[in-house]
């Protein structure tokens, strides 16, 4: 038995939940692309979630390069975290632009972190509460 292709609904016919799910998938793909551009290797697994109505969290797994894995094996976890954070914040506007484009809301705060023992990263984006919009975090980037 062959499977029939699933019909995609026009955006106006999609439920709010389907639209949000689609946007979360788009965010995960954007984060993978940014990691690939930034580190030369994208994560193997990426997933985005809402943590309340104003916080987005993207988990990215297995993104360390071979050189970074060697640093991890040598026990250079702090140095590895420092390097990753330097690169993350040097391109903060790229991360924020992707989120603002997808969700059409200004990002108030961006927080990036990595657990070098397990090779899991988090990219966290905090929006202004609806009704109290403010300037984008990208306007405050130190570049």
Average pLDDT over residues 97-126: 96
* pLDDT-derived band at 123, boundaries 50, 70, 90: very high
Find the domain containing 77 and state its range: 15-129
pLDDT of residue 22: 92
Question: Does residue 39 lie within any of the structural domains?
Answer: yes
- What is the structure's pLDDT at 142? 59
pLDDT tier at 97 (50, 70, 90 boundaries)? Answer: very high
Percent over 90 (pLDDT), the chain: 67
Number of domains in the chain: 1
Rounded to an integer, what distance in angstroms lies between the CA atom of residue 36 and that of residue 31?
9
The answer to whether residue 90 sits within a structural domain is yes
Is there a domain that residue 1 lies in?
no
Question: What are the φ/ψ torsions at residue 122 (nearest 5 degrees)?
Answer: -125, 135
- Does 57 reside within a domain? yes
Q: Is residue 135 part of a domain?
A: no
Distance, CA of 35 to CA of 119 (rounded, Å): 13
Q: Considering the chain, what is the average pLDDT of its residues?
A: 87
Q: Is the per-residue pLDDT at 103 higher than 80?
A: yes
Q: For residue 32, tell me if it sits in a domain.
A: yes
The per-residue pLDDT for range 34-78, each reduced to its tens digit, is 999 988 889 999 999 999 999 999 999 999 999 999 999 999 999
CATH code of 93's domain = 3.30.980
Q: Is 35 contained in some domain?
A: yes
Q: How far apart are the first and last CA of the chain?
A: 57
**Is 66 contained in some domain?**
yes
**Tokens read off for 64:** 């360390």
- Where does residue 125 rank: exposed (0-12), middle (13-18), buried (19+ CB within 10 A)? buried
């Amino acid at each position: 038995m062959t499977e029939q292709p699933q019909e995609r609904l026009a955006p106006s016919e999609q439920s709010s939940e389907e639209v949000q799910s689609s946007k979360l998938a788009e965010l995960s793909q954007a984060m993978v692309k940014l990691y690939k551009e930034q580190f030369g290797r994208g994560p193997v697994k990426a997933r985005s979630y809402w943590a309340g109505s104003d916080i987005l969290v993207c988990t990215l797994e297995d993104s360390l390069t071979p050189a970074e894995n060697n640093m991890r094996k040598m026990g250079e976890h702090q140095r590895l975290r420092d390097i990753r954070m330097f690169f993350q914040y040097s391109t903060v506007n790229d991360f924020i632009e992707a989120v603002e484009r997808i969700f059409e809301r200004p990002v108030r705060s961006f927080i990036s972190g990595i657990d070098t023992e397990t090779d899991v990263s988090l990219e966290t984006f905090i929006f202004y509460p609806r009704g109290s919009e403010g300037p984008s975090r990208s306007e405050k980037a130190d570049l």
